[in-house]
A and B are shown apart, each in its own frame.
Chain A
Amino acid sequence: MFIYILSRIGQAVPVILTVTFIAFAMFAYVGDPVTIMLGQDYTEEQRQALIEALGLDQPFFVQYARFVANAVRGEFGLSYRLGRPVLSLIAERLPATLELSLVAAALALLVGVPMGVFTGLYRESWLSRAFLVFSLVGVSLPTFLIGILLILVFAVILGWLPSFGRGEVVVFGWWSTGLLTASGLKALILPSITLGLFQMTLIMRLVRAEMLEVLRTDYIKFARARGLSNRAVHFGHALKNTLVPVITITGLQLGAIVAFAIVTETVFQWPGMGLLFIQSVGYADIPVMSAYLMLIALMFVSINLIVDLLYYAVDPRLRVDRGRLGRTGV
């Protein structure tokens, strides 16, 4: 188990290094930071001094090593646009994005899985058919369009929910949350539906397909032949066997939710990292962009690791150590 985790982490390191390299290359090749920082009037001495101070006269790999070392310590430099440390900028925005993403993911799971189970069990019912049609809408409509439509209906026409922002937040240390105030919760509804809808329909379709597959298996027939209750057969035996692919997809999608919250955050002017990123792109604010890139990569890698560990928890066949592998054949 421990070795398994270590090997997974070992595999993650090259991925992260590659991403840091790309992030670093952005500094080197997208614009000239010295020119940007010095502004209009400067002397050649000032320029040289700054180059030395920033270490830009050092060989490429020394610079890269320093960049990585700084990144490990959480030093991503100053934002060109706001003149503040990138880390604190991101820390400010992170809670908003994580909260939105987690609520969206929870929504996708809590609605998508039961819908998938239902449509898998009662294939012929009209409700299943309705769910499938609905899921087609969720899969095919682009996120920004769904967001705009929701705003139109619930914010503009009905006036029930706010169309932008996070509402009131409560601050604990560096973490701010909108989950504890009524306006914060209300503000969360539309963006999280927008963000989670695609994932919800994806999970529903996946669970449905897997359920149909599993319900045909002998062990489900045998579970019925043992007279287990429907609940035990459907949820204990069938659903649990669908979980491995569902966990994979959900895990990857959680990463995607965080990364692609950009669109939703833009539509709803949600003060999260995505919005920060979009604004930074407009200003060519490279430190913020590269830090965001690395953060997202780190998140994907960690989620993948968690997914792998969850497999381990769900499927005992993966827990077989190599010595006994021979017996699992067929």
Chain B
Amino acid sequence: MPLLEVQELRVEFPTRRGVLTALDGVSFAIEAGEVLGVVGESGAGKSLTGAAVIGLLEPPGRVAGGQILLDGRRIDGLPYEQMRRIRGREIGAIFQDPLTTLNPLYTVGQQLAETMLTHLPVNPAEARRRAIRWLEDVGIPGAAQRIDAYPHEFSGGMRQRVVIALALCAEPRLVIADEPTTALDVSIQAQIITLLKGLCREHGTAIMLITHDMGVIAETADRVAVMYAGRIAEIGPVRDVIKHARHPYTVGLMGSIPSLSARVERLAQIDGAMPRLAAIPPGCAFHPRCGHAFARCKSERPELMDAGGSSRAACWLHAADSASAMVAGAPREARPGDARPGDARPGAARQGVADDAR
């Protein structure tokens, strides 16, 4: 049984002009100790998925369908108090901006101790001892003295280390890291990711790593889910997805990443923009931007289907029935150099500077 299983998750925002569906049919699973990367453009629903899992959707957002299972136990729609006991204890969270994540009025030691006292059977003295050990573990020099320092006395990178300690101190089995390095200097991003991964491996904690940085995913994740317009476009082992992307969107995403080894004059760009939530096209949400779209893509929505290797993609190109015959298995041979499976050459209009998948 996977540690976390999300099935057909649907998140809606009721607004004055109608209900917006922000997540639609999102399904994935995370095994114990596994690192699942979640990538996509801004607004693809990555963070929302994380918020739904930990039960902190901002109202009026709500889980409108599907289920979220932790150890096979359903956790969506739990009463607030029961969900509270899961947060921090079973599922931890790390946010994007370490400068605003810590309460400025409490010392880091107080915040650590408070979290442990809430979830673990420890007394204040023991909580303090553990807090010092956690600060040491996340690499804060002079932890025994720094424990009584306030957040503003730490630099951004150090604060993110404190946030990691806070997320892990009650020893959750899953931690949702939402863009944990985006707000940091490039020079310390790698340190923080290495630290997070190392600590989680040590404690057997699974990570749901939400980011738009494919580099981070490539280094860290075991599997990756690519999200587009509130749906999962492709999910699979990280090597497969990077080297042999199966979904045209993923192919475009990979093509827009600059590479040191490959000599390209200009980076590939996916034409157009992700649709607004109010105007998600019928059928496959990507079809207006897809060079391979055919009739079926416009009318019928593709579910995740086996797409060769261990990957699953929500794309009709991989359907086992008549549709796949049309492209004669071409996508299965997709290579990272190709902008599009089956395409001889990327069209001139699709070339340009990479914009979103930084």
Would A218 and B88 count as touching, CB distance under 8 A? Answer: no
Interface residue ranges of B79-108 to A (CB < 8 Å): 80, 84-89, 92-93, 95, 97, 99-107
A230 contact set on B, CB distance < 8 A: 80, 84
A236 contact set on B, CB distance < 8 A: 114
B-to-A contact residues, CB < 8 Å:
54, 56, 80, 84-89, 92-93, 95, 97, 99-107, 114-115, 118-119, 150, 152-153, 155-156, 163, 166-167, 170
Q: A225-B56, A316-B152 are in contact. Are A217 and B100 (CB under 8 A)?
A: yes
Does chain B have a CB within 8 A of A73? no
Q: Which of the candidate stretches A168-176, A185-193, A203-211, A322-330 sits at the interface with the other chain?
A: A322-330
Would B150 and A225 count as touching, CB distance under 8 A? Answer: no
Chain A residues with a Cβ closer than 8 Å to the other chain, count: 27
Q: Closest 7 CB pairs between A and B?
A: A227-B88, A227-B87, A225-B93, A218-B100, A226-B88, A316-B150, A219-B103
Would B103 and A223 count as touching, CB distance under 8 A? Answer: yes
Expressed in whole angstroms, the minimum distance between the Cβ of B172 and any Cβ of chain A is 9
Q: When A and B form their complex, what is the total count of cross-chain residue pairs whose Cβ atoms lie within 8 Å?
A: 89
A141 contact set on B, CB distance < 8 A: none
Does chain B have a CB within 8 A of A232? yes
State the CA gap A241–B105 with chains docked (Å).
Answer: 7
Q: Which of B95, B105, B114 contacts A232 (CB 8 A)?
A: B114
Interface string of A221-248 (1 = CB under 8 A from B): 1111111111010001100110000000
A-to-B contact residues, CB < 8 Å:
217-219, 221-230, 232, 236-237, 240-241, 314-317, 320, 324, 327-328, 330
A324 contact set on B, CB distance < 8 A: 153
Interchain residue pairs with CB less than 8 A apart (6): A225-B92, A226-B93, A226-B115, A228-B115, A315-B105, A316-B105
State the CA gap A330–B224 with chains docked (Å).
Answer: 34
State the CA gap A310–B86 with chains docked (Å).
Answer: 37
B97 contact set on A, CB distance < 8 A: 218
A330 contact set on B, CB distance < 8 A: 99, 156
Which residue on chain B has the smallest CB distance to residue A324?
Answer: B153
State the CA gap A16–B287 with chains docked (Å).
Answer: 76
Would B114 and A221 count as touching, CB distance under 8 A? Answer: no
State the CA gap A326–B155 with chains docked (Å).
Answer: 11
Which residue on chain B has the smallest CB distance to residue A238?
Answer: B103
Which residue on chain A has the smallest CB distance to residue B104?
Answer: A317
B163 contact set on A, CB distance < 8 A: 222
Would A327 and B93 count as touching, CB distance under 8 A? Answer: no
Q: A222-B163, A224-B87 are in contact. Are A229 and B118 (CB under 8 A)?
A: yes
A217 contact set on B, CB distance < 8 A: 100
B95 contact set on A, CB distance < 8 A: 218, 221-222, 225
